[in-house]
């Protein structure tokens, strides 16, 4: 029987693996220690005929401590005997930590450093009765032994600001910048900053940029940059600490030597032409500001063009409820319902096709903005009842429905005939006059 281990890789100062030790298959007979050295697990193949031999089945943790920086993540590396496919081992690790504010860890051994400080981690292993029975059946002649004491790991977490000063004779004051590439438009601006050094957060000094096309970008000693024209370039960025900041770092670490170990940083720059932004008002109004009609008349509202583009389709929305006098549907069609006057407020939302056509009418590179605020247009409405007039004997016109007086036979005749065309009415009147002359 061989001891099985889980493959890991060294990342920073923490051991990281992306999978749970309880679910992965053994990948090799090697593992990596916290110092980065590889070690080979001794073969522990036991003869099933060797009676009364003791078999230690407690897993072992490779790490003796965890040293990390706040924000780092990792996982414990476990060595466990390989019992083969006949024995399924699950969830045998019990982990407890004294101060969970410093480090958090789950049942699979995955941990994350939360804040600077020191604490201890205790790990114990427990096999289930079913697992012990399977192992015993596999090795009936051996005496299984399990360590009862917890395995203790010391945990030391440092802050990012202090990590360069831990147990060092020197302090690296090489600046670390917050930028490696600048992508912007013409007239764009920005500020380069330096990360904290040696526990000092406010770093003062002078930025130096050289080797670039100064017609494309300007970098000031304060770290402020301004994009001047479209194009691509690179510049070498360096930073000279002020005497004030250097003194502040030295006072924090009087026994340390301040050294600068890294070379200047290369920054890539890409500046594109400034976008032309056009804000387009969609509230262009309608082809009429008033409606004067008779009851029963119909018509249609039409939205005015937008930037010269025909404003077809879209949706119309009347604000006030004026349906007793006039109604307007979503297509802009109106119907005069009854006599009266009112003020109609209507908003219009252009169709997607119209908006796309407007945007496409501008030069390439222009950013077209369409404000979402819609204005209601005011339309004055006057609706009247239709009036039918008829000719009378001497008085000229008389409203339909008024009874004729004695002798007004022509009027009575017109009333009884109803509404006639002007030609028909004239013929009837001439016929009546001929009859009167004969009498």
Cα atoms in the Cβ-side hemisphere of radius 13 Å centred on 238? 10
| pTM beyond 0.85 | no
Which pLDDT does position 323 carry in this prediction?
72
Closest CA to 208 of 188, 194, 197: 194
Q: Dihedral sign, CA of 241, 245, 251, 253?
A: negative
Name the nearest CA neighbour of 95 among 69, 120, 67: 120
pLDDT at 303: 92
CATH of the structural domain 279-384, one choice from 1.10.1040.10, 3.10.620.30, 2.60.40.1080, 1.20.1510.10:
2.60.40.1080
Structure tokens at 65: 């401590």
Helices and strands counted in the chain (H then E): 5, 36
Based on C-alpha coordinates, what's the Rg of the chain?
A: 46
Burial 344-379 (b: 16+ CB within 10 A, else e): bebebbbeeebbebbbeeeeeeeebeeeeeeeebeb
The CATH class, in words, for 170-273 is mainly beta
Residue of 274, 383, 372 lying closest to 327 (CA atoms): 383
Rounded mean pLDDT for each run of 10 residues along the chain, 439 residues in total: 31 26 28 33 40 75 81 80 72 81 86 90 84 84 82 86 58 87 92 90 91 92 94 91 92 85 82 81 89 94 91 86 84 92 91 89 79 83 84 53 46 34 38 42
Do the domains at 2-160 and 279-384 have one common CATH topology? yes
CA distances from 35 to 9, 72, 189, 371, 381 (A): 11, 17, 46, 62, 89
What is the C-alpha to C-alpha distance for residues 391 and 435, in angstroms, rounded to an integer? 20
Handedness of CA 227, 228, 230, 234 (dihedral sign): negative
CB 57 within 8 Å of CB 127:
yes
Q: Which residues contact 129 (CB under 8 A, 6 or more apart)?
A: none
Residues in the chain: 439
Q: What is the pLDDT of residue 55?
A: 79
Q: Which residues of 405-418 are buried (b: 16+ CB within 10 A; e: fewer)?
A: eeebebbebbbeee
Residue 5: both structure tokens together: 């281990």
Domain boundaries, the chain: 2-160, 170-273, 279-384, 390-438
Burial class (CB in 10 A: 0-12, 13-18, 19+), 2: middle
Query: Domain 2-160 - what CATH class?
Result: mainly beta
Q: Residue 30 has what pLDDT?
A: 31
């Amino acid at each position: 029987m061989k001891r099985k281990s889980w493959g890991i890789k060294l990342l920073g100062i923490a051991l990281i693996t992306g999978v749970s030790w309880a679910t992965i298959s053994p990948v090799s007979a090697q593992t990596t220690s916290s110092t980065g050295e590889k070690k080979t697990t001794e073969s522990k193949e036991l003869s099933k005929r060797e009676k009364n031999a003791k078999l230690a089945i407690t897993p072992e943790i490779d790490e003796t401590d965890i040293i990390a920086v706040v924000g780092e993540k990792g996982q414990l590396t476990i060595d466990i005997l390989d019992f083969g496919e006949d024995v399924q081992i699950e969830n045998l690790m019990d982990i407890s930590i004294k101060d969970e504010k410093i480090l958090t860890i789950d049942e699979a051994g995955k941990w994350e450093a939360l804040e600077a400080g020191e604490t201890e981690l205790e790990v114990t292993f427990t096999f289930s009765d079913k697992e012990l029975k399977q192992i015993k059946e596999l090795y009936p002649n051996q005496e299984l032994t399990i360590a009862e004491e917890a395995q203790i790991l010391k945990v030391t977490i440092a802050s990012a600001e202090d990590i360069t000063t831990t147990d060092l004779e020197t302090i690296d004051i090489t600046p670390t910048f917050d930028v490696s590439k600048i992508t912007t438009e013409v007239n764009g601006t920005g500020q380069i900053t330096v990360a904290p050094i040696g526990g000092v957060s406010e770093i003062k000094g002078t930025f130096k940029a050289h080797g670039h096309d100064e017609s494309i970008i300007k970098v000031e000693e304060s770290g402020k940059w301004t994009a001047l024209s479209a194009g691509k370039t690179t510049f070498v960025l360096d930073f000279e600490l002020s005497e004030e900041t250097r003194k502040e770092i030295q006072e924090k670490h009087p026994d340390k030597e301040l050294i600068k170990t890294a070379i200047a940083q290369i920054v890539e720059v890409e500046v594109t032409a400034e976008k032309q932004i056009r804000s387009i008002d969609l509230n262009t109004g309608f082809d009429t500001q008033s409606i004067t009609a008779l009851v029963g008349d119909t018509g249609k509202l039409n939205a005015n063009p937008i930037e010269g583009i025909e404003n077809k389709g879209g949706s119309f929305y009347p604000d006030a409820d004026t349906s007793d006098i006039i109604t307007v549907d979503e297509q802009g069609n109106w119907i005069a319902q009854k006599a009266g006057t009112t003020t109609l407020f209507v908003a219009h939302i252009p169709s997607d096709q119209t908006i796309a056509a407007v945007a496409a009418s501008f030069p390439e590179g222009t950013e077209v903005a369409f404000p979402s605020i819609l204005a209601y247009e005011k339309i004055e409405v006057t609706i009247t009842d239709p009036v039918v007039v008829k000719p009378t004997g001497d008085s000229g016109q008389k409203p339909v429905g008024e009874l004729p007086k004695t002798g007004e036979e022509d009027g009575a005749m017109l009333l009884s005939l109803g509404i006639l065309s002007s030609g028909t009415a004239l013929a009837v009147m001439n016929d009546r006059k001929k009859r009167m002359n004969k009498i």
